[in-house]
């Protein structure tokens, strides 16, 4: 794709290539609607060598659309164009851990501890979801350090949802950063713990983990670091790089138990910092995290998938029912015509993930073409996907005492509430009385 090419009817203007991988190419582009820089990942669906590659691409778009965390790229939308599948997401400003390591050599222990603290926050969120999400490809190239010092996990092309079953698993990952169980097609939260440990060790030594000293399947952490790192961090890395997933800590927090990590202040949640009004009150409503049609699109996808499964199941039952019916009317010779003719119709209806079923459902009023509705009337905009944060903060000129409570609920009613009460000498005296 040439630079300066536009996509999505001119909304995104491609500026440069950010990176290229096995699944496709990621471009830097400008969102002409907002003026913001975005990352556009094009999947080479047309030249995919197997259906599994297409499934991985669709899985990345589906999973990323459900995530909402400051240390994970923000999903914007995905679409099909020019025979390819495009995923648009927030462009994470900064430099990859791999680029930093190549330029500066081995990183300091303080900086690696900061990376581990950020990775702990990100993995706690991913692994703690109702359907745990395993990244499966944490490595220096997939970690970006922002200008504020925080580290973001990027490239969810190998992501897997543990509670979603979709056929046999695929061996995905990068040699040196893959836990041994990944070679068996297995993926656990502890799998990401191993990859983070290998990434931290690569940052500390400046070389790839597979070239470091080994004892059997175990990386010899002490020999690799040669006394250049504190004993407690060496012990933590040894726990993370334990080859046996049943012995390895199931969470990064457990592996880092007793380690004092240095964590920079968390970046503002998808927006500028809250303004502080001298009058004592500041108010901010955060913009929706996702496009307004994300929820309805997900419902439509689920409906189409269910319809396809139902139709094929009925076709399979037809091999039992149709011969009985046709035998009753002495038309047994028509069985192949009926069954294979109906199969041809099903292939047309379910072609390309049910492309023909979608307009049919919309015409019947079973689903909603939200883009068309919103173009006609912006007031019909659907609520965005969760979690949605509604922040209202009252700031006193002296001191402010803020209590935050949060909960992760289903998509339709997830929220986070913020209670604020200002504390002044007079109010504190009244409270004590």
pLDDT-derived band at 330, boundaries 50, 70, 90: confident
Handedness of CA 266, 271, 272, 275 (dihedral sign): negative
Whether 238 has a pLDDT exceeding 90, the answer reads yes
The CA angle 196-198-202, to the nearest 5 degrees, is 115
Tens of pLDDT, residues 186-236: 889 999 999 999 999 999 999 999 999 999 889 999 999 998 899 999 999
Q: What single-letter DSSP state applies at residue 184?
A: G
- Angstrom distance (rounded) from CA 180 to CA 244: 8
CA nearest to 233, candidates 224, 250, 213, 144: 224
Main-chain dihedrals φ then ψ at residue 67, nearest 5 degrees: -95, 145
* Region of residue 163 (left: phi > 0; alpha: psi -120 to 50; beta: else): alpha
Handedness of CA 323, 328, 331, 337 (dihedral sign): negative
Higher pLDDT: 160 or 268? It is 160
Q: What is the DSSP string of 136-158?
A: ---SGGGEEE-TTS-EEE---TT
- Containing 321, the helix (H) or strand (E) segment is helix 294-328
Whether 275 has a pLDDT exceeding 60, the answer reads no
- Angstrom distance (rounded) from CA 389 to CA 274: 13
What's the confidence (pLDDT) of residue 393?
A: 34
* Chain region(s) in the chain for CATH 3.30.200.20: 6-90
Averaged confidence pLDDT in the chain: 75
What mean pLDDT is predicted for residues 146-169? 75
> Does the predicted model carry a pTM greater than 0.85?
no
Whether the CB-CB separation of 391 and 418 falls below 8 Å is answered with yes
- Angstrom distance (rounded) from CA 53 to CA 57: 6
Higher pLDDT: 248 or 367? It is 248
Whether the CB-CB separation of 395 and 282 falls below 8 Å is answered with yes
Higher pLDDT: 180 or 399? It is 180
pLDDT-derived band at 171, boundaries 50, 70, 90: low
Whether the CB-CB separation of 197 and 97 falls below 8 Å is answered with no
- Angstrom distance (rounded) from CA 235 to CA 231: 6
> Is the CATH code 3.60.21.10 the one for domain 6-90?
no
What's the confidence (pLDDT) of residue 179?
A: 94
Other beta carbons within 10 angstroms of residue 250's beta carbon come to 14
Tell me the two tokens of residue 32: 């002409």
Q: Is 229 helix (H, G, I), strand (E, B) or coil?
A: coil
- Angstrom distance (rounded) from CA 91 to CA 18: 10
Residue 423 CB-half CA count within 13 A: 9
What mean pLDDT is predicted for residues 123-129? 94
Main-chain dihedrals φ then ψ at residue 120, nearest 5 degrees: -60, -45
Give the fold, CATH level 3, of 95-255. Answer: Transferase(Phosphotransferase); domain 1 (1.10.510)
* Chain region(s) in the chain for CATH 1.10.510.10: 95-255
Longest pairwise C-alpha distance within the chain: 96
218 Cβ partners below 8 Å, 6+ apart? 241, 242, 243
Q: Is 127 helix (H, G, I), strand (E, B) or coil?
A: helix
Whether the CB-CB separation of 228 and 31 falls below 8 Å is answered with no
Whether 283 has a pLDDT exceeding 70, the answer reads no
Whether 163 has a pLDDT exceeding 80, the answer reads no
- Give the residue numbers marked as catalytic: 137
What's the confidence (pLDDT) of residue 334?
A: 84
What mean pLDDT is predicted for residues 364-388? 46
């Amino acid at each position: 794709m040439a630079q300066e090419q536009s996509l999505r009817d001119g909304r995104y203007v491609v500026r440069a290539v950010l990176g290229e991988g096995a699944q496709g190419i990621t471009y830097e582009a400008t969102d002409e609607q907002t003026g913001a820089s975005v990352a556009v990942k094009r999947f080479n669906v047309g030249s995919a060598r197997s259906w599994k590659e297409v499934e991985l691409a669709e899985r990345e778009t589906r999973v990323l659309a459900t995530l909402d965390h400051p240390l994970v790229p923000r999903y914007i939308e995905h679409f099909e164009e020019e025979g390819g599948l495009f995923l648009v997401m927030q462009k994470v400003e900064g430099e990859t851990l791999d680029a930093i390591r190549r330029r500066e050599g081995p990183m300091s222990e303080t900086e690696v501890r900061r990376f581990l603290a950020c990775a702990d926050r990100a993995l706690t969120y991913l692994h703690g979801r109702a359907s745990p999400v395993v990244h499966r490809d944490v490595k220096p190239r997939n970690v970006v350090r922002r200008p504020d010092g925080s580290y973001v996990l990027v490239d969810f092309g190998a992501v897997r949802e543990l509670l979603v079953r979709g056929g046999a698993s695929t061996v995905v990952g990068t040699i040196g950063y893959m836990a041994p169980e990944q070679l068996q097609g297995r993926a656990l939260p502890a799998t990401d713990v191993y990859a983070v440990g290998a990434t931290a060790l690569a940052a500390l030594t400046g070389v790839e983990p597979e070239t470091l000293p080994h004892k059997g399947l175990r990386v010899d952490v002490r020999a690799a670091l040669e006394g250049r790192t504190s004993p407690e961090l060496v012990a933590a890395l040894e726990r993370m790089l334990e080859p046996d997933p049943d012995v390895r800590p199931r969470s990064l927090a457990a592996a880092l138990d007793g380690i004092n990590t240095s964590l920079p202040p968390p970046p503002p949640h998808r927006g500028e910092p809250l303004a502080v009004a001298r009058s004592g009150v500041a108010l901010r409503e955060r913009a929706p995290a996702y496009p307004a049609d994300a929820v309805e699109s997900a419902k439509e996808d689920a409906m189409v998938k269910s319809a396809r499964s139902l139709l094929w199941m009925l076709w399979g039952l037809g091999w039992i029912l149709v011969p009985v019916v046709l035998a009753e009317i002495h038309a047994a010779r028509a069985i192949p015509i009926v069954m294979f003719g109906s199969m041809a119709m099903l292939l047309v209806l379910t072609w390309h993930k049910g492309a023909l079923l979608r307009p049919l459902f919309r015409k019947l009023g079973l689903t909603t073409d939200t883009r068309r509705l919103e173009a006609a009337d912006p007031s019909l905009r659907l609520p965005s996907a969760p979690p949605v944060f509604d922040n209202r903060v009252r700031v006193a000129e002296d001191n402010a005492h803020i209590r935050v409570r949060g909960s992760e609920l289903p998509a339709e009613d997830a929220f986070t509430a913020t209670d604020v009460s200002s504390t002044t000498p007079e109010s504190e005296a009244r409270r004590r009385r």
